[in-house]
A and B are shown apart, each in its own frame.
Chain A
Amino acid sequence: MQNFVYTVTDPEGLHARPAGLLVKCAQSCGSDVKITLNGRTADAKRLFAVMGLCVKQNDQMAFAVEGSDEAADCEKLKAFCEANL
């Protein structure tokens, strides 16, 4: 399993649009992707779960990526976060 933490810089936090894009990105990964925030964990491939985290600016999302391609998927997700969130 690989982990990384991303701090959200978007002043609006994880609104519907960015949440949708994030879920799409996670769905394109072969690995399992989980996000933990404030003690709650959500499956990053499920939109309602991700929106349910109610991610705001400066929140630190902890990603856990597990699967045969986890290193590549981790990079992909990191790059996505940096470009979009």
Chain B
Amino acid sequence: MGRVAFHRSGNAQIEKRRIEDVKGELSRLETAKKEALGFLNEIYLTSLKRVGEKDSMIFQIHMMMLQDEDFLDAIKNKIEREQVNAEYAVWAVGQEFAARFAQMDSEYMRGRQADVIDISKRLIQYLDDRMAYGPAQMDEPSILAAEDLSPSETMQMDKAKLLAIITRGGSKTSHSAILSRTMGIPSVVGLENGFEELKNGVTVIVDGTSGEVIVEPDENAVADYEKQRKEYLDSQQRLRQVLTSKVVTKDGRTVAINANIGHPGDVESVLKNGADGIGLFRSEFLYMGHDALPSEEEQFQAYKHVLEKMDGKPVIVRTFDIGADKRVPYLNLPEEDNPALGYRAIRICLNRKELFWTQLRALLRASAFGNLEIMFPMIISVDELTAAKAMVEEVKSSLAAESIAVAQDIKIGIMVETPAAVMMSEELAEECDFFSVGTNDLTQYTLAVDRMNGKISKLYNPRHPAVLKMIRMAAENAHKAGIWIGICGESAADPELTEAYLEMGIDELSVAPSSVLELRDHCLNLVK
């Protein structure tokens, strides 16, 4: 919350003048180019300190654009042939190059117009210092409002006085938006409606999370805002402390803290909470709450979205676990007396192969877009695992025949959630790349306690020694075969059990995104 300060970009009026001294004009251009490069290099160094190498690369790109021979030759030609002043030539060529980007058939490339305009303005500034191009001077901490903001302007802002940024133009993927987000400055870009209402000195609240701008808020809105801001800052503080710390045990093993998700939209919060990957992506959401089976394309888009967002971090997708308490009316599954012990999960997959085929095709197609791992639920025997793996291979060959790209070496794992899987873990470990213990079902099956039966809910205890012995046995067999083992059930987040899990050699804990930080913090304390 704060007062609005308007920022106007320079170069409103570029004069076109006829010049006689072409050589002189060319040497002015050369000098301005050197100065602009020097300036961009400084901005780059500042940016490196503030946002790191990846997001700073844009300034290197700007420097390269400024030295691009096509760009410079076009400017020089214009000066020589038309005998015009350098400012005008830069402006005209900048517009021309920007127009080229504007015509490209990719939204991203069209967005690069802004970068061309940015460097042109920068060059003009060094040709004529009346064309000053830079940040607005703010006397007090303010919220900056601008038609649009270039990356270099964003980086030049005095961070101490910049409360938030509002722009009318631009997109969330613009480099300015990325830079301001990385710097932790709340920003709303592309505010079409209501931008007119913003005036110098008006008090506004900017909610960078929701993209809302409240003009002249009333008391309630202010109180609400103060509360939200405090909560946000508290969590930010915690985030910064543990967000990027890796959990490494005293004997040098890294323990991954992953997140469980049930919907592609959850991936934002996975990233925000700094999970090392997705340990369990429940694919049932695609099947439940729909009137019909999801198409291959629909599934493919959902998986691809998550894989791309996770940017190379592992994403473990569990093939559909339908049946038992997860009902899907359109499949017309018959009522069962004992659904937990009934027709569900991998049992449906291996029986209704057309359903499984569609899901595997969507998964394998999506695998080209990130680091996909596939996990099968409810396994009780090696035969089931081999049958499921054979299906994966079949789908792979069919995709290869259609020349559709599939990632190489996709890891295959199983849920260890039945006592049978634990007892067979030595054999199963030979046939797969990882185990993930589903403690909810493993507890219910080991203790013969129905999770849904309220009368015996006191007996349902994931801390029961029998359950822990089961997990230990699976862990020993996993490690004997050289594969990793994780826990993705609810008790992965149980702080009372963390120490026991770490001591057993559990390699991964996967919990709800909102629990990731707390668990990471807890683990870090335990391994200190």
| Chain A contact residues, CB within 8 Å of chain B | 9, 11-13, 15-17, 19-20, 23-24, 46-49, 51-52, 54, 56, 58
Contact = CB atoms under 8 A, between A and B. Distances in A.
Tell me which of A15, A24, A46, A51 has the highest count of chain B C-beta atoms within 10 A of its own C-beta.
Answer: A51
Interface stretch (B30-38, B108-116, B203-211, B372-380): B108-116
A57 to B, nearest CB: 9
A3 B369 CA distance: 28
B65 A47 contact: yes
A48 B61 contact: no
Contact of B65 (A13, A15, A17, A48): A48
Given A48-B71, A48-B97, A54 B61 contact: no
Nearest to B97: A48
B108 A15 contact: yes
B68 A46 contact: yes
Contact of A20 (B61, B71, B100, B106): B61
B64 interface: yes
Interface of B is mostly: helix
A17 B115 CA distance: 12
B504 interface: no
29 contacts: A9-B368, A9-B405, A11-B369, A13-B106, A13-B108, A15-B108, A16-B57, A16-B58, A16-B61, A16-B115, A17-B54, A17-B57, A17-B58, A19-B61, A20-B57, A20-B60, A20-B61, A46-B68, A46-B69, A46-B70, A47-B61, A47-B65, A48-B71, A48-B100, A49-B70, A51-B112, A52-B100, A54-B105, A54-B109
Interface in B460-502: none
Interface in B34-68: 54, 57-58, 60-61, 64-65, 68
Nearest to B57: A17
A27 B58 CA distance: 18
Interface in B85-134: 97, 100-101, 104-106, 108-109, 112, 115
Contacts of A24: 64
Nearest to A12: B108
Contacts of B68: 46-48
A17 B61 contact: yes
Contacts, number: 49
A51 B70 contact: no
Q: How large is the interface on B (under 10, 10 to 19, 20 to 34, 35 or more residues)?
A: 20 to 34
A15 B104 CA distance: 13
Contacts of A12: 108
Contacts of A20: 57, 60-61, 64
Given A9-B405, A47-B61, 6 more contacts: A16-B57, A17-B54, A17-B58, A48-B97, A49-B70, A54-B104
A43 to B, nearest CB: 8
A39 to B, nearest CB: 15
B106 A56 contact: yes
Contacts of A54: 104-106, 109
Contacts of A13: 106, 108
Contact of B64 (A15, A47, A58): A47
B40 to A, nearest CB: 13
A54 to B, nearest CB: 5
Contacts of B216: none
A16 B112 contact: yes
Nearest to A21: B57
A52 B101 CA distance: 7
B450 interface: no
Interface in B302-358: 308
Complex A-B, nearest 10 residue pairs according to Cβ-Cβ distance, in ascending order: A20-B61, A47-B64, A54-B104, A17-B57, A16-B61, A48-B68, A47-B68, A48-B70, A11-B369, A54-B109
Contacts of A17: 54, 57-58, 61
Contacts of B108: 12-13, 15
Contacts of A58: 405
Interface in B278-321: 308
Contacts of B58: 16-17
Interface in B385-433: 405
A15 B100 CA distance: 16
A52 B70 CA distance: 12
B69 to A, nearest CB: 6
Nearest to A58: B405
Nearest to A27: B64
Nearest to A7: B405
A35 to B, nearest CB: 14
Nearest to A54: B104
A47 B514 CA distance: 43
A19 to B, nearest CB: 8
Contacts of B109: 51, 54
B323 to A, nearest CB: 34
A51 B111 CA distance: 12
B403 to A, nearest CB: 10
Contacts of B104: 52, 54
Nearest to B115: A16
B78 to A, nearest CB: 16
A30 B528 CA distance: 52
Contacts of A23: 64
A11 B365 CA distance: 13
Nearest to A15: B108
Nearest to B108: A15
